[in-house]
Amino acid sequence: MKNIQNIIKGILVVIIIGVVFVSCQDNIDDLRENPNGVTAIDDAALFTKAVRSLFQSTTDQSVSRFAGQHAHYFMAGSTARPPDQYLDGFDGSYNSIYNGFYGGVIRHIEDVLEITTAEGTSNPVRHAMADVIAVMGYAKITDGFGEIPYIEGGKGKSEDILTPKYDTQEFIYKDLIDRLSASISILKTADPAMGYPGSDPVFNNDIAKWVRFANSVRLRLGMRLRLADNELSKQVVTQCLSEPLMDDNSHNAFMIETEGQGNGWYSMKIGYPSIKVSEMMVNQLKTTTDPRLAVFVSQDANGNYEGITNGLGDIAFGASNFAAKSDMGLALSSKQSKLYIMTATEIYFLRAEAALIYDVDPAEANNLFRMGIETSLNQWNVDAISISDFMATPTTTLSGENDAQEEQIGMQMWIALTPNYYESWSHIRRTGHPVIAQRTADHLEPGVTNGFMPKRFLYSSFELSSNGTNVNEAIGRQGANKIDTPVWWDKN
C-alpha cells in the first residue's frame, strides 16, 4: 500500500512540475512577445494620453521655473526663483525637462504613429491627427534646446536607439512643416469615423477643426522662420493663408484638467512654488486701461493690482514684500481654468504681422490686429461695454512706421498668449517684442547672461555623459552649451 501511495505521490509531483514548467514557459514566451509592445496597446488611449501630456506641459517646470519668468509674466518664489535672476546651475531641471518631453508626449505619440502605419492597424486619418501632435511636441523641445534628436528621437523602445543623433533645427523645422502639409492634405477629405471619436480631448473628433488647427500650427512655424529663412517663410505663410485657419474662439485648442488638483497654476497658487504676477504685465494692463487686468491679475489684500519686479537681487527681493503682491487671476488659476496650446487670437496677430511684412498692406494689418484684440477679449468673457470702450482707445489701432507697428503687434501678442507662457518666450526671442531690457540697475541680478534674457535650455550633464559624441557634434554646430546661445531661428 505504501508503495502505491509513493507512486501516486510521484505521479502528482511530476504533474505539478509539468504544470509549473508549462506555466513558466508560457510566461517566458509572453515576455519574448512583449505584451507591452505597441501592437498590444490601444492607440486611442495612447493618443489621448499624448494630447493630455502636451497640455500638461504648459504648466510644468519648463514654464513655471523658466519660460514664464524669462518672458516676464510672473516671478516664482523660493528655490524656483533663481532662473528669474538669469542664473544657471539647474542641471537636474534641464535633464528633467528634456526627459519629460521625450518621456511624455513624444513616447506616446511615437507609439501611435507606429500603430497607425503598421500592417493590419494602418489608419491614415488617425496618423495625420497624431502627427500634428507630434509636430507640436518636437517643436516645443527644439524651441527650448535647439538641436535635438529628431529622426532618431523617441526611438529607444521601438528601434533600440539609445544614443540618437542630433539634427539641426533648420532641418527639423522644414520637416515639421512638411509633415503638417501632409496631415492637412489627408484631413481635408477625411472620414471622421476613421478619426478618434470618443478619444479626442481637444476637438471631439471635429476633423474640420483639426484642419484649421494643423494649418495654424504651420503658420506659427512659418512665421518663426521669418528672420532665419525669409524666402521659405514667405512661401509657407502664403500657403497657410490660402487654407482655413483658426479664426474664432470656437476653434481654440484648449483642455480642462480634471485629474488631481486640476489646473497646474492652481496647485502652485496654493502650494509650491508660489507665483506672483510680473510688474511688467500689471503696468502694461494698467496704463492702457486694458479690461483684461481683472482677468489676468488678482487684487492684493488692499484691493490693488501690484506686480513684482523681475530679476531682483537677493537684498532687493528680501525688501519686496513678495507675499503681498498680486496672484494670477482666477480665470487663469482656478481648478477648472483652461489650458491653451493655440488660439484664434494668436493666429490673427500672426496674420497681422504677415500682412504688414509680406503683403505690405497696412490697412489689412490693422484690421487683423484689431480682430486679434477683440477675439482675445471675448475669449476671456470681457463684457460688451468694456470691449467697446477699449477698442476705441489708441492702443487698439496700429500707427507709425512699420517698426512701431510690429512692436504694437508684438506687445498685444505677448498679452494674448497668456497663459501659454512657453510659446510667448519663443515669441519674444523671435521678434524682440515686447522688449525685455538688459538688466543694468544695481538692484537687479544680471546673472550669467550679462543681464540679457536667456535664449535656451542647456544639454544636461547626463545627456553629455550618456550620448556625448552626438551632443558635442550638436554643440559644435549650434554654439556653446550656454543659456545665452541662440537657437537657429533666433536672429534678434
Peptide bond into 244 cis (omega under 30): no
pLDDT of residue 134: 98
Cβ 454 vs Cβ 487: under 8 Å: no
Helices in 277-361 by DSSP H: which ranges? 279-287, 293-296, 314-318, 330-333, 344-357
CB-based contacts of 304: which residues, under 8 Å, 6+ apart?
326
Count of C-beta atoms within a 10 Å radius of residue 38: 18
pLDDT of residue 40: 53
- φ/ψ region of 331 (left if φ > 0, alpha if ψ in -120 to 50, else beta) reads alpha
pLDDT tens sequence across 91-117: 999 999 999 999 999 999 999 999 999
Where are any strands of DSSP class E within 233-279? 253-256, 275-277
Q: Which amino acid is at 88?
A: D
Domain 38-262+335-478 has CATH 2.130.10.10: no
Taking the C-alpha atoms of residue 54 and residue 56, their distance in angstroms, rounded to an integer, is: 6
In a structure prediction context, what are the per-residue pLDDT tens digits for the chain, which is 492 residues long?
Answer: 444 444 444 444 433 334 333 343 444 333 333 334 444 578 999 999 999 999 999 999 999 999 999 999 999 999 999 999 999 999 999 999 999 999 999 999 999 999 999 999 999 999 999 999 999 999 999 999 999 999 998 776 567 888 999 999 999 999 999 999 999 999 999 999 999 999 999 999 999 999 999 999 999 999 999 999 999 999 999 999 999 999 999 999 999 998 888 899 998 888 888 999 999 999 999 999 999 999 999 999 999 999 999 999 999 999 999 999 999 999 999 999 999 999 999 999 999 999 999 988 889 999 999 999 999 999 999 999 999 999 999 999 999 999 999 999 999 999 999 999 999 999 999 999 999 999 999 999 999 999 999 999 999 999 999 999 999 999 999 999 999 999 999 998
Domain residue spans in the chain?
38-262+335-478
DSSP per-residue string spanning 97-137: HHHHHIIIIIHHHHHHHHHTTSTTT--HHHHHHHHHHHHHH
- Nearest by Cα to 320 from 297, 303, 334, 300: 300
Taking the C-alpha atoms of residue 380 and residue 378, their distance in angstroms, rounded to an integer, is: 5
Taking the C-alpha atoms of residue 108 and residue 89, their distance in angstroms, rounded to an integer, is: 30
Cβ 94 vs Cβ 65: under 8 Å: no
Which residue has 487684487 as its cell numbers?
299
DSSP per-residue string spanning 208-244: HHHHHHHHHHHHHHHHHTTTT-HHHHHHHHHHHHTS-
pLDDT tens sequence across 272-315: 889 999 999 999 999 999 999 999 999 999 999 999 999 999 99
What residues does 76 pair with on adjacent strands? Answer: 275
Query: How many CA atoms, within 13 angstroms, populate the side-chain half-sphere of residue 93?
Result: 20
Taking the C-alpha atoms of residue 264 and residue 271, their distance in angstroms, rounded to an integer, is: 10
pLDDT of residue 492: 84
Indicate the pTM of the whole model: 0.91
Cβ 298 vs Cβ 329: under 8 Å: yes
